[in-house]
Chain A
């Protein structure tokens, strides 16, 4: 049902064309998915999640399926191991694994293949380990399920070996620990150990690192790469990040709405994307865009020209007029100490979430607070928003100390600074219609009459590029990107001067993220807004921020303009963060294409 036309010499029958120089024995595919159809039965009828996917994986090769949420990338991979959730069913096509048809195999035979021939590294290391079992026991379980022969002692040794191999030093002690004693990265390493326990021929890695901090992500992917290369395991990566995919896989499969829209060698796809969707993806992926700016910058070009046309607006203005602006938010020596309750009275300990942090946000500028989880960036943002009182230190807004406001002044101050949060599902009250959500700030601050407020709501919906008819909807009817637009509209309702964007685009798909960044750029230019941009993703920072504050463990590690931080990072931690941007290893030529 999918009509695909070959871009290169794909018309040639297999085996034709002299001079193909792949090694003997590797030209037989390990996994061959042909015209795969998967559908789910819901109360609203049948949903075709995958519609005619073709994917080929050779032994020892790494292939990445790239796509946004709902593209069918995970569904395709789960069909291979027959782990489709709920009512999912393969309704057509074939999956050949190692010369054997998988579709229609009895359950017991597929169960025998799982783990032994095809391993899986799941997405979320937090929920995929059983919290009541020791790590070692869970790996032993995997060994036993896959017919490990040998006694208890050998099994224990094997477990230690596997953990060692997955990059956990002191493996024997680690095997006796419980999942809660492990960090996210260590848990993901244990999951990799489980996935590779029986030396499968194919390892399916479903967004294996998307729940982890960027620097950890990089270490784990590096390790996984070395490991699978040594073992000769083929890897099927599933990711939403094109930069990551291109860096880690030699063959890319781009999926959109259940179909493979483009597939081919990673380099060719990056350099010469054919399908409009892939083109947009290549243009929008933050890691690639950031890399493109960097490459251009190194070559002395003006970065603005190198962005995709629809990203132009996200490049901050760099004229002198902007530099001359006054300071709007000044944080001086902010410190926040949380008291953590101990097991008995008096056993509490102090935890410094934010430690002596100072920064300045200029009018019309974008300041990025960057750090990994636990760096204190959100705590700092909440103090700026006046939602948390600093233990010591001062937040000055437009020259006035926020802590010294009278209640009336404090209420008025709220109008001038507004937040947009990360989670597009949690930031709108589900019982409020869109109209009520956007109107609420106006009503609370008694702005205008009812009629004027309605006019303003319509205006705001236009501003965030949503149809006015959306105001009768409820949040659960909108997509993540749309909800985030509503959250932005709501934040803009009172005409604030500063918007605090707390991971505001982190939960969104790449294209939607690009749209929201573009929208934010446009709004900044139109309304002269100042943004305090909280993020863990340096790639996005490159596209939107004027200056960067890098935080680690509650302290400011480095603080400079964006160009300076990217060109000339002073601290090792910043360098690690920069190196962790997926696609950092791609040569300029491949992406500047």
Chain B
């Protein structure tokens, strides 16, 4: 046991200059506040903090404005144009330029491009939202079960996920869609979802595996809470953040995938107005009238941008590393 240092200090009896015994004046009521609760502020949770964080970002408002606009357009296209995209076509107007009441001009069939762009939003948003919803449901269940119950469940489900993961989304969709006769928004969404759920399953599995090791899960177990209830009550709510972030970004990619399929002519039938289909049509007249391609492509790009930007903002707001304790 070493000797106490202060016994061996040269001249240990008297402190050296600058090291005399000092005590600060007691000028703060800080002592009692060592462990006080602030009671006046509004309660905050992860979600509330995230909302406060997002509100401050201009990008959030831009993305939100785009999304609200696109959804409104998709839900109520007739608010934005009185021209019907399919029945008000006259071949006489084929490839005609803009004129009053028809700001974007006409396509090869003589249909109003503005009206077609407005009505095309519905197909994209519908397919995007439906496939995202399906993907979240399938992926969360697969991932949560694999991550939470581990063991054989995990081995089997993870291998299934890996197999699906290896299949390129658009390629698989092309194969399936080309043999599908009944092509509606729902079937397109279903096909996209059945090959697009793997990422969410992987993300959920990883998050669930880390959340389930938390002490609050052990505490719930020692209360006698069942496994299923713990998964639903404690584990899943705490795994929601990355799922939501991914879902927002995935929505954009599904819209692109739908457009790709429609462009190839195996997505939505020509009777449904869609941006992908219009881009495909525009291709035929691209030399004479490139602007026909521009408007549906711009609609598609802005919509996807809106959702991906929102995903970015949400991720930043929910990122636990950026959050202060």
Contact = CB atoms under 8 A, between A and B. Distances in A.
Contact of A251 (B19, B214, B220, B225): B19
Contact of A441 (B25, B223, B234): B223
A422 B35 CA distance: 18
B44 A56 contact: no
A56 B18 contact: yes
A456 interface: no
Contacts of A248: 5
Contacts of B49: 476
Given A56-B19, A251-B19, A431-B238, A261 B223 contact: no
Contacts of B163: none
A3 B24 contact: yes
State the majority secondary structure of interface residues on B.
loop
B216 A22 contact: no
Interface string A389-433: 000000000000000000000110011011101110111111101
Contacts of A62: 5
Given A250-B9, A444-B225, A474-B45, A226 B2 contact: yes
Contacts of B219: 419, 421, 427, 487, 490
Contacts of B99: none
Given A58-B16, A256-B30, A444-B223, A472 B43 contact: yes
A592 interface: no
Given A274-B23, A275-B26, A481 B222 contact: no
Interface residues of B, number: 56
A22 to B, nearest CB: 4
A388 B203 CA distance: 28
Interface in B40-63: 41, 43-46, 48-49
A158 interface: no
A277 B31 contact: yes
B222 A29 contact: no
Contacts, number: 218
Given A387-B218, A421-B218, A467-B39, A267 B6 contact: yes
B23 A26 contact: no
A433 B44 CA distance: 9
Interface stretch (A5-13, A111-119, A187-195, A551-559): A5-13
Interface in A245-273: 247-251, 256-257, 259-269, 272
Given A247-B4, A426-B215, A473 B37 contact: yes
Contacts of B21: 6-8, 10, 262-265, 268-269, 272, 274
A482 B37 contact: yes
B23 A278 contact: yes
A427 B5 CA distance: 41
Interface of B: 1-2, 4-6, 9-28, 30-31, 34-35, 37-39, 41, 43-46, 48-49, 214-216, 218-225, 234, 237-238, 323-325
Interface of A: 2-10, 14-15, 17, 19-23, 26-27, 29, 32, 42, 54, 56, 58, 61-62, 222, 225-226, 247-251, 256-257, 259-269, 272, 274-278, 280, 385-387, 410-411, 414-415, 417-419, 421-423, 425-431, 433, 440-441, 444-445, 466-467, 469-470, 472-474, 476-479, 481-482, 487, 490, 494, 511-512, 515, 579, 584-587
Give 4 closest A-B pairs by Cβ, nearest first: A264-B21, A56-B18, A274-B23, A414-B224
Given A5-B22, A61-B9, A225-B2, 10 more contacts: A6-B21, A21-B10, A42-B324, A262-B22, A268-B21, A276-B31, A277-B31, A429-B234, A440-B223, A494-B223
